[in-house]
Amino acid sequence: MIDRSIEQMLLVAGRYFQLIMLIVLILVVYVGFEMAARKGRVKVRLLPQVSAIKEMVERCAEMNRPITFVPGGSSVAGTTGASIGSAHLASLSIIAEVAYQCGLTGAKVLVLAASPVLIPLYNNVLQAGFIRSGHPEGFEPNAVRFSTPELYSYAAWVAGEVRRENAGANMIVGSHNMDAMIHGIAGLEVGAMQLAGPSFAYFFVAVADYVFIGPDLYVASAYLTEDPILLGSIRGMDLTTFVILGMAFIGLILATARSDLLLKLFGW
Amino acid sequence: MSKVWMRKSLPQLIIVVLAIWMIAEYFIAVKWIENVGSILRTFQTSVGAFALGLGVVATVYQHGGHVWRRTPGRWFYSGVLLTTMTVMAVSGLIGWLDQPIFAYLWNNVYIPSQQTVYSLLMFYITYASWRALRISSIPSTVFMICAIIVMMMNAPLLQYYIPISTPLANWLFNIPNVGSSRGMALATIGGTIAVYLRTLLGRELGMIGITAGEE
């Protein structure tokens, strides 16, 4: 009786199963970390999207055209305090890699920010990339540009910037809304090589040369850091997928047997 | 305090504490935890509003530079941007949303411009479809056939003469489409959890502007 009252007082009803699943999935990813830490470096196949970054930057350096990076993050409501989602967070590693390659080749990069909150963050990441390449002088303080957080105004501005700057490569990597289509076509019109995703991947396969589909961006982000523990998180991601697939399979059997046990469990 | 503490450890500590707090708020029904969570969300909005000032400075610096230097092909647009930004800001500050100039610009310039950009999507989607719908392999042929069936469902004349197109298109939407997109979403969940866990464990420092090689 006492236990029951404590449970009612402490936990929000209907979220017990969610809490259990969260703990299970975090443990599974953590096991991936630990396995990597014990076994040493995890071998990961090089994604074509990652090797394309170098190719795109070198192409831009040869053509003397800039690279435009469109991380997105604008919202329909045009909030000024844009939150940073997981895809956006993972895209920072890509920005750092682009800056590193630009430092080596002398190419110019422009980051078209959708939120003023993120301007110092992009500046830091770009500067770090140039410093890592051994060419800190390559970093331009006005490489991060901002115009508006409003979704379609941002889309129109990005399309204009890509055209005016005559981008040699257009990277639309991060979190995007419907504006993704406008960015994609703008790059296509100026003949830029395009790397895009993971949101609106189904649209980008028609207009981009390389697309991050599903969890590819998270894998690329971990790959680029070359940190064995982070590479271990890729194993954790795979284990998580297997856990969820297992649950889906159990759900399939239960649904076929006309049992609503899993549905009740979700609502517990 | 050392530079490393201020640059790395302190922001990391703040991130971990706030993240755990927001997770706890979702699951734990304790009033004071909920109250603090609510204050934190308000704080986020306030910080965002202050950051708009930073955005204004960045915009004025960038576009003012173009106007000042008369950058070919750019200075005129930058001038228009700075002028409209100033007019909107001043008129909005004077009389808020009821100010006639602000209301006029909002209703007759801003809203139609947004709708114009939105309507451009139709052309862009058509252009992308034209590029995608090319029969070059077996998967692209399947893709083409599915697209035609879905287009048939949306054309009343074809819907009338080929009635099977509607149930067929609905089946495509509800079974293969939902199944495959959920499969992709499930795979992405693992990545999302991994990124957040990496952040909580202090291995992913992109959120505070530190990336590989800088650590």
Least confident window among A52-56, B47-51, B206-210: B206-210
| Residue-level pLDDT at A95 | 93
Assigned token pair, A237:
């991601």
Contact call for residues B151 and B161 (beta carbons, < 8 A): no
A199 touching chain B per CB within 8 A: no
Q: Three-state SS for A109?
A: strand
Rounded Cα distance between A141 and B24, Å, is 39
For testing contact with chain B, the best of A7, A10, A12, A16 (most B CBs within 10 A): A12
* Residue from A76, A143, A79, A77 nearest A113 by CA: A143
* Residue from A54, A60, A38 nearest A191 by CA: A60
Inter-chain residue contact A81 with B45, CB threshold 8 Å: yes
Bridge partners (DSSP) of residue A87 are: none
Q: Which residues of B touch A19 (CB under 8 A)?
A: 27
Cis check for the bond before A198: say yes or no (omega within 30 of 0). yes
For testing contact with chain B, the best of A23, A89, A104, A144 (most B CBs within 10 A): A89
| Residue-level pLDDT at A99 | 94
Distances (CA, A) of A257 to A23, A189, A264: 29, 54, 15
Q: How confident is the model at residue B209 (pLDDT cuts 50, 70, 90)?
A: low
A169-174, strands of its sheet edge to edge: A144-146, A109-113, A67-72, A169-174, A193-198, A210-211
Q: How confident is the model at residue B215 (pLDDT cuts 50, 70, 90)?
A: low
A227 pLDDT higher than 80: no
Least confident window among A73-77, A162-166, B43-47, B180-184: A73-77
B211 touching chain A per CB within 8 A: yes
Cα torsion at B28, B29, B33, B39 (round to 10°)?
A: 110
User: What type of residue is B33?
Assistant: I
Q: Three-state SS for A146?
A: strand
B202 pLDDT higher than 50: yes
Q: How many interface pairs between A and B have CB atoms less than 8 angstroms apart?
A: 221
With vertex at residue B153, the alpha carbon angle to CA B150 and CA B156, rounded to the nearest 5 degrees, is 145
| Residue-level pLDDT at B201 | 77
Query: Which of A12, A160, A207 has the CB atom closest to B29's CB atom?
Result: A12
pLDDT in tens, B107-156: 999 999 989 988 988 888 888 888 877 777 888 888 888 888 988 888 88
| Residue-level pLDDT at B214 | 57
Least confident window among A245-254, B1-10, B115-124: B1-10
Bridge partners (DSSP) of residue A197 are: A173
A33 touching chain B per CB within 8 A: yes
H-run or E-run covering A211: strand A210-211
A214 pLDDT higher than 70: yes
| Residue-level pLDDT at A195 | 96
B138 touching chain A per CB within 8 A: no
Query: DSSP strand E in A40-185: where?
Result: 67-72, 109-113, 144-146, 169-174
Contact call for residues A150 and A78 (beta carbons, < 8 A): yes
For testing contact with chain B, the best of A17, A22, A92 (most B CBs within 10 A): A92
Contact call for residues A204 and A176 (beta carbons, < 8 A): no
Q: How confident is the model at residue A268 (pLDDT cuts 50, 70, 90)?
A: confident
What is the DSSP code string of chain B? --HHIIIIIHHHHHHHHHHHHHHHHHHB--HHHHHHHHHHHHHHHHHHHHHHHHHHHHHHHHHHHHHHHT-TTTHHHHHHHHHHHHHHHHHHHHHGGG-HHHHHHIIIIIHHHHHHHHHHHHHHHHHHHHHH---SSHHHHHHHHHHHHHHHHT-HHHHHH-TTHHHHHHHHIIIIIHHHHHHHHHHHHHHHHHHHHHHHTT---GGGT--TTT-
User: What type of residue is B23?
Assistant: I
**What sign for the dihedral angle of Cα A144, A67, A124, A215?**
positive
Q: How confident is the model at residue A237 (pLDDT cuts 50, 70, 90)?
A: confident
Average pLDDT over residues A143-147: 88
| Residue-level pLDDT at B203 | 73
Average pLDDT over residues B203-214: 66
Residue B31: other Cβ atoms inside 10 A: 7
Helix axes B10-27, B178-200, angle to 10 degrees: 130
Rounded Cα distance between A244 and A237, Å, is 11
What is the DSSP code string of A214-250? TTHHHHHHHHHHT-HHHHHHHHHHHHHHHHHHHHHHH
Q: Which of A14-23, A103-112, A122-131 shows the highest mean pLDDT?
A: A103-112
Residue A233, Cα to own-chain centre: how many angstroms? Answer: 15
A130 touching chain B per CB within 8 A: no
pTM for this entry: 0.86
Least confident window among A3-17, B48-62, B100-114: A3-17
Q: How confident is the model at residue A191 (pLDDT cuts 50, 70, 90)?
A: very high
Rounded mean pLDDT of chain A? Answer: 85
Residue B107: other Cβ atoms inside 10 A: 10
Alpha-carbon Rg of chain B, whole angstroms?
A: 26
Least confident window among A47-61, A154-168, A186-200, B131-145: B131-145
| Residue-level pLDDT at A8 | 56
Average pLDDT over residues A111-121: 86
Query: Which of B192, B193, B211 has the CB atom closest to A92's CB atom?
Result: B211
Q: How confident is the model at residue A172 (pLDDT cuts 50, 70, 90)?
A: very high
